[in-house]
Chains A and B, each alone.
Chain A
Amino acid sequence: MTTIEQRDNYPKSAAEFTENVEKREKIGKVFEILFLLGLLLGLFVLALLLFDVLRDGLGRFLMPGFLTETPSRFPDRGGIRPAIVSSILLGIIVILTTVPIGVGAALYLEEYAPKTWWTAIIEINISNLAGVPSIVYGLLGLGVFNYLLGFGPTLISGALTLSLLSLPVIIVTAREAIRAVPDSLRYASYGLGVTKWQTISHHVIPYAVPGILTGVIISVSRAIGDAASLIVVGAVAFLTFNPGLFNRFMALPIQIYSYITRPEPGFANAAAATIIVLIILVLALNGMAIYIRQRFYY
Chain B
Amino acid sequence: MTNINPENIFLSNSITSLEKHPSEDLPDTIVRIILFACALVSVLTTFGIVLIIFQVTFEFFQKISLAQFFLDTKWTPLFAEQHFGIWPLINGTFLTTTIAMMVAIPLGLSSAIYLSEYAPPQLAATLRPAVELLAGIPTVVYGYFALLFVTPLLRNIIPLEIFNALSAGLMMGVMITPTVGSISLDAIRSVPPSLREGAYALGITKLEAIFKVVLPAALSGITAAIVLGISRAVGETMTVLIAAGQQPKLTVNFAESVETMTAYMAQISGGDSPRGSLNFQTLYAVGAVLFLITLGLNIISHWVSNRFKEKYE
Chain A neighbourhood of B120, CB < 8 A: none
Distance A286 CA – B46 CA, assembled complex (angstroms): 28
Interface size on A, residues (CB 8 A): 99
**Could you tell me the distance between the alpha carbons of A144 and B178 in the complex, rounded to whole angstroms?**
33
Known: A168-B42, A279-B141. A35 touches B113 (CB 8 A): yes
The answer to whether B242 and A232 touch across the interface, beta carbons within 8 angstroms, is no
CB-CB < 8 A to B38: which residues of A?
100-105, 107-108
Interface size of B by CB at 8 A reads 93
Q: Which residue of chain A has its CB nearest to the CB of B210?
A: A31
Q: Are B145 and A226 in contact (CB under 8 A)?
A: no
Cβ of B158 within 8 Å of any chain A Cβ, yes or no, is no
A260 contacts B131, CB within 8 Å?
Answer: no
By a CB distance below 8 angstroms, the chain A residues around B130 are 43, 46
A251-280 residues at the B interface, CB under 8 angstroms: 253, 256-257, 260-261, 268, 271-272, 275, 278-279
Contact residue among B23, B27, B43, B148 (Cβ-Cβ distance under 8 Å from A193): B23
Give the segment of B69-77, B190-198, B282-290 that binds chain A.
Answer: B282-290
The answer to whether B291 touches A132, judged by C-beta atoms less than 8 angstroms apart, is: yes
Q: Which of A3-11, A21-29, A62-70, A71-79 faces chain B?
A: A21-29
Neighbouring A residues of B284 by C-beta, 8 Å: 139
Given contacts A35-B114, A193-B23, contact A135 B39 (CB under 8 A): no
Partner of A135, one of B31, B42, B235: B235
B217 within 8 A of A: no
Residues of B within 8 A of A290 (CB): 129
Q: Which 8 A/B pairs are nearest by Cβ-Cβ distance?
A: A133-B235, A38-B110, A225-B138, A104-B38, A228-B237, A143-B52, A28-B207, A108-B35
Between-chain CB contacts (< 8 Å), 23 pairs: A24-B207, A28-B206, A39-B107, A39-B114, A42-B111, A48-B149, A112-B36, A122-B42, A128-B295, A135-B266, A135-B287, A139-B49, A140-B49, A190-B18, A195-B22, A196-B23, A227-B140, A228-B139, A231-B270, A253-B238, A278-B140, A279-B137, A283-B133
Q: Which residues of B are interface residues toward A (Cβ below 8 A)? A: 18-19, 22-25, 27-28, 31-32, 34-43, 45-46, 48-49, 52-53, 56, 106-107, 109-111, 113-115, 117-118, 125, 127, 129-131, 133-134, 136-145, 147-149, 174, 177-178, 203, 205-208, 228, 231, 234-238, 241-242, 262, 265-266, 269-270, 272, 275, 283-284, 287, 290-291, 294-295, 297-299, 301-302
12 additional contacts, CB 8 Å, given A38-B107, A190-B18, A260-B242? A39-B127, A103-B38, A105-B35, A127-B298, A128-B295, A139-B287, A225-B137, A228-B241, A231-B270, A257-B140, A279-B137, A290-B129
What is A's interface to B at a CB cutoff of 8 Å? 17, 21, 24-25, 27-28, 31-32, 34-39, 41-43, 45-46, 48-49, 52-53, 56, 100-105, 107-109, 111-113, 121-122, 124-129, 131-140, 142-144, 147, 153, 164, 167-168, 171, 187, 190, 193-197, 199, 218, 221-222, 224-228, 231-232, 234, 237, 253, 256-257, 260-261, 268, 271-272, 275, 278-279, 282-283, 286, 290, 298
